[in-house]
Copies of this chain bind each other. A is one copy, B any other.
Amino acid sequence: MPRMNRRTLFGIAGAGAAAAAGAGAVLAAEHVLPASVGGGPDDVVPFRGARQAGITTAAQDHLYFVALDVTTTDRAELVDLLQRWTLAAERLTTGAEVAVDGAIGGHPEAPPQDTGEALGLPPARLTLTFGVGPSLFTRDGVDRFGIADRRPPKLIDLPLFAGDAIEPGRSNGDLCIQACADDPQVAVHAVRNLIRMGFGTTAVRWAQMGYGRTSSTVVGQATPRNMFGFKDGTSNITAEDTAGLARHVWAAAEDGADWMTGGSYLVARRIRMAIEPWDRTSLLEQEEIVGRHKGSGAALGATDEFAEVDFSATRPDGSGPLVGMDSHVRLAHSSTLGGVRILRRGYNFIDGTDAEGHLDAGLFFIAFVRDPGAQFVPMQQALSTKDIMMEYLVHTSSALFACPPGVGTGDHWGRTLFGNPA
């Protein structure tokens, strides 16, 4: 079958478009690479599979993340939306619109089924990743949808960490959708149309735009830089590390919630960075805080970014360890954390300037882990209390979501949680 996307779909109506939506040149998620390492805007990341896309998929350049509250109390209505969302998400990832009868869809005297701003844009490796928050199971002690007993033990309530300045209005949520794409308009369009489909059933709680990836998730992706100018996520778990993913990322049967087997837990933290004070610190101090060289990304004293960090090396004058005891790289390293690792998938953000003209910018941290309480919590407890970088960081939002396994043919978001609808 020929490659189909918005460009070719445009003007095709009815069954043709519906059939075309599944006909993209889909590649194995792990092998769909960003333009910088050989992928292209016409590549399609497969939507269906054993795992959700957007976790180990080579990190795309742009993010639009939304957390939603469920406003209905009707379980069937929610499940119906999840079914409709799934079909729409599948279409969107192929580069099609959400409309099923024509490019825009619907009767001229009705609102267009699709909002239209992505017409003519390529698939741009769009992925849509779905998760559910603790509040979906119970809120104010109420079992809202008859699933209170299915809350996974790993879906904890994240604690408050030292120095947190969490804004409730942009934290938590009943549901989340993570949209990643190499074109921001494609990511925004997808989320906007899903939000629109949910009108009356769900409402936006908060959203975050990310403009530059700060993580590599496959071997061969250059390590990007964060707003402090440092390479970030050098020792990330990659798609190729099957054993690492099984141990640290994918939920397994013994983790206590069958419906999550093959899924993962998404930690989201909006970390505002004090850009201007940071820019006034010396190179030496910056490098000591991070524990790496700013230029190469190699650990202090080393030259290879990817070489194992030698935490036993001492300064030439014997005055202490070369990589400081309270440096970021040491505190966040698996060897310091009893073997804990996480899969990072964050993005830089800029939300304008504050009243003082300072950048309201930083890192929208996203991590996928198998067990937040055993992985993210101890890591963040160590960082929040010991990391000297914390002087330049404030966490302003916090959320945890359970992202179920991928959807197979005929499957839909939340099916393993809610079961097949009656």
Which A positions have Cβ atoms within 8 angstroms of B?
Answer: 10-11, 62, 64, 103-104, 106-112, 114-120, 169, 183-185, 188, 192, 196, 203-209, 211-212, 222, 225-230, 275-276, 279-284, 286-287, 294-295, 348, 350-353, 355, 357-359
Contacts and interface: CB of A to CB of B under 8 A. Distances in A.
Given A119-B229, A226-B117, A279-B115, A295 B10 contact: yes
Contacts of A228: 116-117
B117 A227 contact: yes
Contacts of A169: 355
Contact of A112 (B229, B348, B357): B229
The 5 closest A-B pairs by CB, nearest first: A116-B229, A204-B357, A185-B212, A184-B211, A108-B284
B116 A230 contact: yes
25 contacts: A64-B350, A104-B295, A108-B284, A109-B282, A109-B283, A109-B284, A110-B282, A111-B279, A111-B282, A111-B283, A114-B229, A116-B229, A116-B294, A117-B226, A117-B227, A117-B348, A119-B225, A120-B222, A169-B355, A185-B211, A185-B212, A204-B353, A204-B357, A207-B359, A211-B211
- How many copies of the polypeptide does the oligomer hold? 2
Contacts of A115: 229, 279
B294 A207 contact: no
Contacts of A275: 192
Contacts of A230: 116
Contact of A351 (B205, B279, B351): B351
Residue from the set A196, A203, A357 with the largest chain B CB neighbour count within 10 Å: A357
A110 B357 contact: no
Contacts of A350: 64, 188, 209
Nearest to A281: B111
Contacts of A226: 117
Contact of A111 (B209, B280, B287): B280
A203 B211 CA distance: 24
A352 B208 contact: yes
A279 B196 contact: yes
Contact of A353 (B112, B206, B229): B206
Contact of A104 (B117, B188, B294): B294
Given A111-B279, A282-B109, A212 B184 contact: yes
Nearest to A360: B207
Nearest to A62: B211
A151 to B, nearest CB: 25
